[in-house]
């Protein structure tokens, strides 16, 4: 249990607080509408469905306030980079912004379903009350609407039993139904729009669609503009109404049994009702302003000129771009968003920077992994030599988990395939730091693991490792960097070729002194070795790779951590964007 707290304690606390606020809001507003005396007569029409509609609405307001904040990348980077009061444990939570964004979205979906079903029942009961199906009191309450010309108060929003509708140039009477009510009122129409937009956004966010049809996800997710616009106006109709205090007061306990005397005796004046003032805009206006500022800043960055310094096509269909942008400043391990208007005006895709902060340009390695990347690679590899590529928009850089590598005494870096990119930036930065005669580094040991399916994938990164290998030897710091390369896809022919050249000083694949391993790492063995070599150390474990590997490494960090401050602890960090 103690090991688990080391890695997941703060995360669990935050989730418990978030869920506690949701539960509190639901219970409080359910009780408020269920027991509040101003809603006594409303309950005569609707029963408990009123509370079941309003309690989820309060939870929706809270979560709609939160949903935009985790995707305000500039805000998160500002908190991470400029407010150093945030410790490593707290900054780790910023790296789980998309996970929290999804949790909030699921809560919104659940509460929307409850809210919608409850209001559909409310409309049905409003209509039935107009028809007198629930007795004289609901009928009298509904009939207050008939006196609207003389009295501005009413409780039942259904105005007539029947609504005139023109069909084929003839006026006929069509019965008022929940469906008709939904499309002829502000609350109903905006509710339908909000729900449809939410369904499209959530379904298109499924992993299979996001991975295979990213454009579908990208365009449908921008329905959030319609979602929030509808949300702001949803309560303007003031459908849910409560009783007002009047002089003389209307005593509901005494008057509920004699609606025929309302307005005729002093004890029972005609009850007055008023719709609740819309509250949702108060919850969402702040995050909406922050997000608008976020998008404005992105637009400014998009308009800034980006020049190509170098374009290189590597094996395994990996494109290297060296770009220059005025005022661009980065830290090791950060990422940017790219936009190529020649491909799509609206699509922005995240890529980790592989350059070091010490360089006067920034570098990206882009693997072919979808329609957008395929088009970009084809466009650039067919350019005449020395020519500039298409206009490119760059937004960022933004902070990630890998930024915190240098905050740990010992770091384990695990990259899978193109997931090595953030660690390329970090290792380059280390090389530049060691060019300084007296580098100031808290980190005293780095373990680097790279898993690839094919040999060609190693080629573009091997040169950097060779330089680092030589630099460490010259400084007598061979123990500072331990790296292991794993080839996970190989056949018997390849294995036989390796066996023939096994006695060479350098690896037959990479040319490095460290020989390539075949298969996958035995993580229990690796973690045990790190723990034995670094007793009483805080080890940061960083991954840029698939979720399946993340689950394995997260479990190993828990297994090999110890709550005793005198022993080794492992903190798991994963790239998320």
338: its two tokens: 């790219």
DSSP 327-347: T----TT-EEEEE-TTT-SS-
The answer to whether residues 465 and 395 touch, using CB atoms and an 8 Å cutoff, is: no
- Predicted local confidence at residue 188, as pLDDT: 82
**Residue among 320, 317, 349 nearest 335 (CA):** 349
Start and end residues for every CATH 3.40.50.80 domain found in the chain: 401-574
- Predicted local confidence at residue 106, as pLDDT: 94
The answer to whether residues 144 and 113 touch, using CB atoms and an 8 Å cutoff, is: no
Average pLDDT over residues 364-368: 84
Residues 192-245: tens digit of each pLDDT:
899 999 999 999 888 888 777 777 888 899 899 999 999 988 887 777 888 888
**Long-range contact list for 102-108, CB < 8 A, 24+ apart?**
102/205, 103/15, 103/18, 104/63, 104/66, 104/67, 104/70, 105/67, 105/201, 105/202, 105/205, 107/22, 107/59, 107/63, 108/60, 108/63, 108/64, 108/67, 108/198
User: Is 542's pLDDT higher than 80?
Assistant: yes
**CATH 3.20.20.80 applies to domain 401-574:** no
DSSP conformation class of 388:
-
Name the architecture of domain 304-398.
Beta Barrel (2.40)
61: its two tokens: 């307001």
Q: How open is the CA angle 368-98-219, to the nearest 5 degrees? A: 60
**Residue among 90, 201, 98 nearest 577 (CA):** 98
pLDDT band at 490 (very low <50, low <70, confident <90, very high): low
- Predicted local confidence at residue 489, as pLDDT: 66
Average pLDDT over residues 456-478: 68
CA distances (Å), 423 to each of 9, 74, 401, 426, in order? 27, 22, 11, 5
Question: Out of 264-268, 437-441, 479-483, which region has the weakest mean confidence (pLDDT)?
Answer: 437-441
Q: How open is the CA angle 468-469-474, to the nearest 5 degrees? A: 95
Structure-token match 């009350």, residue found:
129
User: Is 440's pLDDT higher than 80?
Assistant: no
User: Is 63's pLDDT higher than 90?
Assistant: yes
Average pLDDT over residues 369-382: 84
190 membership: H or E segment, kind and range: helix 186-204
User: Is 170's pLDDT higher than 60?
Assistant: no
Burial class of residue 542 (count of CB atoms within 10 Å of its CB; 0-12, 13-18, 19+): buried
The residues, ordered by sequence, that sit 6+ positions from 277 with a Cβ below 8 Å of its Cβ are 238
- Predicted local confidence at residue 150, as pLDDT: 47
Which comes out higher in pLDDT, residue 80 or 23? Answer: 23
Q: What percent of the chain has pLDDT over 90?
A: 16
pTM across the whole model? 0.80
The residues, ordered by sequence, that sit 6+ positions from 329 with a Cβ below 8 Å of its Cβ are 357, 397
Which comes out higher in pLDDT, residue 472 or 58? Answer: 58
Using DSSP, state whether 241 is helix, strand or coil.
strand
DSSP 132-179: TTT-HHHHHHHHGGGGTTT----S-----SEEEEEETTEEEEEE--HH
- Predicted local confidence at residue 573, as pLDDT: 85
Q: How far apart are CA 530 and CA 568, in angstroms?
A: 9
| Dihedral over alpha carbons 282, 286, 292, 298 (to 10 degrees) | -160
> What are the DSSP E strand ranges found in 368-441?
393-398, 410-416
Residues 9-25: tens digit of each pLDDT:
778 888 999 999 999 99
- Predicted local confidence at residue 164, as pLDDT: 44
- Predicted local confidence at residue 463, as pLDDT: 67
pLDDT band at 148 (very low <50, low <70, confident <90, very high): very low
- Predicted local confidence at residue 176, as pLDDT: 57
pLDDT band at 493 (very low <50, low <70, confident <90, very high): low
Structure-token match 């509609």, residue found:
53
**Residue among 312, 311, 307 nearest 323 (CA):** 307
pLDDT band at 31 (very low <50, low <70, confident <90, very high): very high
pLDDT band at 184 (very low <50, low <70, confident <90, very high): confident
Residues 394-427: tens digit of each pLDDT:
988 887 777 778 888 888 988 887 777 788 788 7
User: Is 281's pLDDT higher than 70?
Assistant: yes
Start and end residues for every CATH 2.40.30.10 domain found in the chain: 304-398
- Predicted local confidence at residue 291, as pLDDT: 93
| Dihedral over alpha carbons 151, 152, 156, 160 (to 10 degrees) | 70
Average pLDDT, the chain: 80
Q: How far apart are CA 159 and CA 185, in angstroms?
A: 12
The answer to whether residues 275 and 239 touch, using CB atoms and an 8 Å cutoff, is: yes
Residues 329-348: tens digit of each pLDDT:
888 888 899 999 888 887 88
């Amino acid at each position: 249990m103690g090991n688990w707290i080391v890695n997941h304690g703060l995360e669990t606390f935050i989730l418990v607080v978030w869920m506690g606020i949701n539960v509190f809001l639901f219970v409080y507003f359910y009780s408020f509408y269920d027991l509040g005396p101003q809603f006594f007569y409303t309950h005569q029409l609707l029963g408990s469905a009123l509370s079941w509609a309003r309690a989820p609405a309060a939870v929706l307001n809270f979560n709609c306030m939160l949903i935009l904040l985790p995707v305000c990348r500039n805000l998160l980077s500002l908190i991470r980079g400029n407010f150093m009061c945030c410790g490593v444990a707290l900054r780790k939570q910023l790296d789980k912004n998309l996970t929290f964004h999804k949790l909030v979205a699921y809560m919104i979906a659940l509460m929307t379903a409850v809210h919608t079903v409850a209001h559909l029942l409310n409309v049905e009961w409003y209509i039935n009350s107009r028809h007198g199906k629930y007795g004289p009191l609901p009928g009298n309450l509904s009939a207050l609407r008939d006196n609207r010309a003389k009295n501005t108060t009413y409780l039942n929003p259904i105005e007539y039993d029947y609504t005139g509708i023109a069909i084929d140039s003839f006026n006929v009477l069509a019965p008022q139904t929940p469906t008709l009510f939904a499309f002829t009122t502000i609350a109903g129409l905006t509710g339908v729009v909000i729900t449809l937009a939410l369904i499209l956004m959530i379904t298109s966010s499924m992993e299979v669609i996001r991975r295979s049809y990213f454009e579908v996800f990208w365009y449908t997710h921008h329905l959030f503009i319609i979602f929030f616009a509808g949300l702001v106006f949803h309560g303007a109709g003031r459908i849910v109404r409560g009783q007002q205090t009047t002089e003389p007061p209307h005593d509901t306990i005494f008057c509920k049994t004699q609606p025929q005397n309302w307005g005729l005796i002093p004890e029972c004046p005609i009850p007055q009702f008023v719709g609740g003032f819309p509250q949702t805009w108060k919850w969402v206006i702040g995050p909406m302003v922050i997000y608008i500022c976020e998008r404005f800043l992105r637009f400014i960055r998009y308009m800034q000129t980006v020049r190509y310094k170098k374009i290189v096509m590597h094996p395994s269909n990996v494109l290297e771009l060296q770009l220059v942008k005025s005022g661009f400043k980065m830290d090791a391990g950060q990422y940017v968003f790219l936009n190529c208007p020649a491909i799509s005006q609206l699509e922005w895709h995240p890529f980790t920077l592989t350059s070091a902060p010490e360089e006067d340009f920034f570098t990206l390695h882009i693997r072919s992994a979808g329609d957008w990347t395929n088009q970009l690679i084809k466009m650039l590899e067919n350019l005449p030599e020395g020519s500039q590529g298409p206009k490119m928009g760059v937004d960022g850089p933004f902070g990630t988990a890998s930024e915190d590598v240098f905050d740990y005494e010992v770091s384990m870096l695990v990259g899978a395939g193109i997931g090595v990119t953030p660690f390329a930036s970090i290792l380059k930065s280390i090389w530049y730091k060691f060019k300084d005669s007296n580098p100031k580094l808290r980190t005293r040991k780095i373990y680097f693991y790279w898993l690839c399916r094919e040999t060609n994938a190693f080629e573009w990164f091997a040169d950097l490792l060779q330089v680092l290998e030589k630099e460490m030897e010259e400084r007598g710091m061979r123990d500072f960097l331990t790296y292991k390369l794993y080839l996970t896809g190989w056949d018997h022919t390849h294995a036989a070729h390796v066996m023939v050249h096994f006695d060479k000083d350098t690896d037959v694949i990479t040319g490095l002194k460290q020989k390539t391993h075949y298969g996958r790492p035995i993580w229990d063995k690796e973690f045990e070795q790190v723990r034995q070599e670094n007793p009483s150390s805080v080890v940061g474990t960083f991954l840029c790779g698939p979720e399946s590997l993340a689950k394995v490494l997260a479990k190993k960090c828990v297994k090999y951590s110890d709550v005793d401050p005198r022993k080794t602890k492992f903190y798991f960090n994963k790239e998320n964007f």
